[in-house]
Every structure is written in C-alpha cells, then in structure tokens.
A = this chain, B = another copy of it.
Amino acid sequence: MPSSLVHRMPYGFGPSAGPRQGPDGQPFDWSDTPRRRAVTTSYLTDAALLGRLLPPGFSLAGEPVVTVEVQYFTELEWLAGRGYNTLGVKFPATFRGASDEVTGMFLAVLWENLADPILTGRDELGFSKLYAEIPEPRILRGKECHGASWLGHRFIDIELHDAREAEPPVPVGPATGGTLHYKYVPSTGNWGGTDIAYACHTPPGGSQQRTTRFLRALGTVTFHPTGWEEMPTQFHIVQGLAALPILEARGATISETRGGKDLADQRRLY
C-alpha cells in the first residue's frame, strides 16, 4: 500500500483495510451498495437538558428535536458483502471554533452491533460509536418494533405504526448541514488528561445514496431503567437520554436506500 495509507491499532502489521481503503489501498465502489433500511423517530424535548449533552464548542441550533435513527445495512463492499446495524441519537447543533462555524446534526451517540466499524468510525472519523445488540425488527400487522440491548439488557424500544408511502423530504434547516461529531481519546497514565479532543464534520453531499422507498409513520421511543449493574460502561448515556422529556412527537419515517459514500470527506474542525 502507498505510504499515506491509514493505520489503526495494532500498528505493527501495516495499514489496515477499512471503509475508505480496500486491500489494495483503493477506495470501494459505493454506487449501488450498501443496501440500507432506516427508521427514524423524532420528538421535541427540553432545550436546557438537551444542551447539557453537548461537548465544548457546541450549542443547540433551532428547535430541540431529538431524532433516534436505526439503520440496517447489508451488502457493504468494505466488509466483503456483510452487513451490520446501527442506532443513533442526533439533534441540531452549531459548532463554533477558532475559525470554523458549522451548523448540522450532532451525533450524540451511535450504537453498532459489530466491533470493526465501531473501531474504524471512532479512530478514523471521530464518531461516538459504542457496542449494542441491535436485532432485526419485529414486524407484525403493520407495527414495527425496533430496539437495542447490551448483553441482554434491553435499554431502548422504538415502535412505528401507521406507515404510509410518501415523497422523500427535501432536507431543510440544520439537516442540510451534514453531521457533527466530537472526537475524543483520553491520555494514558496522565489520568483525566486528553490525547485527542476536537470537533469533526461530515459534510453533506457527495453521496451516491438514492432512496428507493419512503414512508411516513407514527412512532414512539422508550428508554428503560438502566443502572450501573445493567450497563456498567454505558449506563450514564442511557440515563442521560432517558432524562430528556418527550414533549411532542415529531413523526417517524421509514426509508430504503441503495449506495452511499465512504465518508472520506470527513474533516476536522478548528
């Protein structure tokens, strides 16, 4: 592989293939795959409580509307045709740095059910990825039940119903600004210190993703009581999300897409 290839731990074995570099160091073809089915449910919450979840440099942008999104990916070329599932929580925010100011959707946490994309996403992109079990949905007589658990503890249920075919929406507001992240890695030995702490941006556009089906639905989100014994490394995240009141439902969507992008346009913000 050429010298500018990306390494990940373990370093000594040479560059690591991943979403943005294949076994030959070249990018993958994202024109027709992956396939993806995604559901979202959104709700208005309390601005003050939501704002507490933002890292340094970030502030809320517009209405405090939380969107929970579950994605089921298959036929990912970078995984040699395999798939995985994700569950993300995002809301509109603005990052103001020394030189950059960007408004977009802040991705507060993204659970995934496979460790390898968790590691590539954390290390290379600064996505706040964690592990959870995210089983295929249960779909019965028009009702869809999605959710996630950690070592058997179900911490979130997402239910959709009354889905109807609709036109895919044209994004407006912060959703047009791409996705915002905060890359962070602590120091080793210097406990409490910081090795990496900076904002990142996934710019909008540049994707070959096309929507093949879109539906609007009604949806609900329920976070289940979760303490240290249930999720000893993640309980504070579930508690932080569960503390957000659901003031008003803002609708749900179901979409099916093909194609995408490798996020090589991910950039650090200054």
Query: A residues near B, CB below 8 A?
Result: 3-18, 20, 22-23, 29, 52-55, 58, 74-75, 77-83, 108-109, 114-116, 118-120, 122-131, 133, 135-141, 143, 145, 149, 151-154, 182-192, 194-198, 200, 228-230, 232-237, 240, 264, 266-268
Which residues of the other chain, B, contact A81 by a CB distance below 8 angstroms?
A: 137-141, 143, 145, 229
When the two chains form their complex, are residues A236 and B14 in contact, meaning their CB atoms are under 8 A apart? yes
Evaluate whether A182 and B3 lie within 8 angstroms (CB atoms) in the complex, with A136-B83, A141-B77 already known. no
Having A8-B184, A12-B108, A133-B152, one finds 11 other A-B pairs with CB under 8 Å, namely: A11-B55, A11-B182, A74-B136, A75-B140, A77-B140, A81-B145, A115-B130, A123-B185, A125-B188, A154-B154, A191-B264
Which residues of the other chain, B, contact A197 by a CB distance below 8 angstroms?
A: 11
CB distance from A74 to the nearest CB of B (A): 7
Among A20, A109, A119, A145, chain B packs the most CB atoms within 10 A around the CB of A119
User: What is the count of identical protomers in the complex?
Assistant: 4
Evaluate whether A151 and B82 lie within 8 angstroms (CB atoms) in the complex, with A188-B267, A264-B191 already known. yes
Q: Name the CB-closest residue of B to A3.
A: B192
Among A129, A182, A186, A197, chain B packs the most CB atoms within 10 A around the CB of A186
Which residues of the other chain, B, contact A191 by a CB distance below 8 angstroms?
A: 4, 6, 20, 264
